[in-house]
Amino acid sequence: MTSTFSGLRHPARVVVAAFASAVAVGTVLLMLPLSAESGEPTDLVTALFTSTSAVCVTGLVVVDTPGHWSTFGEIVIAGLIQVGGLGIMTLASLLGLLITRRIGLRMRLTAQAETKALELGDVRRVVKGVALVSVSFETVIAAALTVRFLTGYDYAFGTALYHGVFHAISAFNNAGFALYPDSLTRFATDGWICLPIVVAVIAGGLGFPVWIELWRHARHVLRRWSLHVKLTLLTTAALFVVGTVAITTAEWNNPATLGQFGVAGRLLTGFFHAVMPRTAGFNSVDVGEFESGTLLVNDILMFVGGGSAGTAGGIKVTTFALLAFVIIAEVKAQPTVHVLGRKVPSTAQRQALAVVLLSVGAVVTATLALLALTPFSLDEVLFESVSAFATVGLSTGITTALPVSGELLLTVLMFLGRIGPITLASALALRERTRRYELPEERPIIG
């Protein structure tokens, strides 16, 4: 067999099947009496919701993680997070390589014998690379957190190591699960805890293709970087700055959030909460106490998400940036879209637009449904819907108060949000065809 992945005619189905299988296995494990502190079986809906949240690296919970789940249950959750994070990075990277080869095949007009298949060596190289990047970052972050728990909080070595490893896995995979009922609020002003978490979140959210390219071209900064890497890094940095300024300014005097700290604590917390919507889900202050404007800023940051083929969710920063350049080109009446010295094909523009509009449709539909099912406000429900779809895990506190129908709705939304953008984008790219004829042109009135 010369191909293991692209021999499939519908590779996107592999993503759906793989994640559905992982969710099913996780649900069964979490339903076991051994997984709960009480020693009683966990009900199906709670186990399904938690398993989906872990595999889709979201972080939304309907039960208190350290209070409800036993050590075995927490290990299962950590394992599901790792599987979900590694899985999406690997499959998304393979799909990206598959798309690149197919498009490259057409552009080069090579012989039909040079198929667009991924060889076994390609698959092994991607899998090994993803595993190496993940384990490297998680090991460093786990060590840093373990040392801090040991020296700053007098944890026993075993406890410190356990907490360090769990939170490193959760952070790098942008999952947002924490072993504390209040997430990381007890460490809000502790930079030795918050900053390693931030580094892990950013590292996982950039995506495997970015790290591989940065490694290969470490001596040729910018000059040999691809358009994807440049867009990812520049847009990510810009959103961090805008998010930090907006959140810190809006919450500076709010005594329930940043206002309770000194200047250094406010700056640290503001930066922390600008990074978390991208899409980690940890919180160091009560999100439910945010001002309405801050919630809206978080909605936008969560919806955009992180880098492609990474552990973050959302529509991805490259999609967001590309549409911004499309708008700029249209405003300037330019016939084509140029981004950082490169021309972007119209097919990529249409694919980005399709991903964004369908994602908006999913969030709006879920928001309307939750408004009908629950007594909560639009701010709260919209925040919850965006958080679930973008696989963030932040919540204003209403998740545990949702009815079963609301929990099932968010379960579906988390699953769609995790696999939807990548499978949709890859399916559109792989189905790209040339028309054999064109219909007569007619322009409707716009605006």
Q: Could you tell me the CA-to-CA distances from 330 to 171, 251, 356, 382 in Å, in that order?
A: 39, 36, 18, 30
Judge contact between 322 and 344, C-beta under 8 A: yes
Q: How far apart are CA 308 and CA 136, in angstroms?
A: 20
The helix (H) or strand (E) run that includes residue 53 is helix 44-55
Residues 6+ apart with CB under 8 A from 401: 374, 376
List the chain pLDDT tens, one digit each, 447 residues.
Answer: 444 444 444 556 777 788 889 999 999 999 999 999 999 999 999 999 999 999 998 999 999 999 999 999 999 999 999 988 887 777 666 666 655 554 444 433 333 333 334 444 556 777 777 888 889 999 999 999 999 999 999 999 999 999 999 999 999 999 999 999 999 999 999 999 999 999 999 999 898 888 888 887 766 666 678 888 899 999 999 999 999 999 999 999 999 999 999 999 999 999 999 999 988 889 999 999 999 999 999 999 999 999 887 788 899 999 999 999 999 999 998 989 999 889 988 888 888 888 899 899 999 999 999 999 999 999 999 999 999 999 999 999 999 999 999 999 999 999 888 887 766 665 555 555 566 667 787 767 666
Q: Is 363 helix (H, G, I), strand (E, B) or coil?
A: helix
DSSP 115-156: -SPPPHHHHHHHHHHHHHHHHHHHHHHHHHHHHHHHHHH---
In a domain, 64, yes or no: yes
Query: 336 near 405, Cβ under 8 Å?
Result: no
Find the domain containing 256 and state its range: 11-430
Residue 387 lies in a domain: yes
Q: Does some domain include residue 69?
A: yes
Asked if residue 435 is part of any domain, the answer here is: no
What 8-state DSSP symbol labels residue 402?
A: -
Q: Nearest CA to 279 among 363, 179, 172?
A: 172
The domain total for the chain is: 1
54 within domain boundaries: yes
pLDDT at 4: 45
Tell me what percent of the chain is helix, strand and coil, each rounded to the nearest 5.
Answer: 65, 0, 30
Q: Which residues fall within 8 angstroms of residue 162, CB to CB, at 6 or more apart?
A: none
Assess if residue 310 is contained within a domain.
yes
Q: Is residue 440 part of a domain?
A: no
Cα–Cα distances (Å) from 408 to 31, 281, 347, in that order, read: 16, 20, 35
* Cα gap 49→98, rounded to integer Å: 32
What is the gyration radius of the CA atoms in the chain, in angstroms?
22
φ, ψ dihedrals at 281, nearest 5°: 95, 0
- Rounded to an integer, what distance in angstroms lies between the CA atom of residue 214 and that of residue 201? 17
Q: Is residue 355 part of a domain?
A: yes
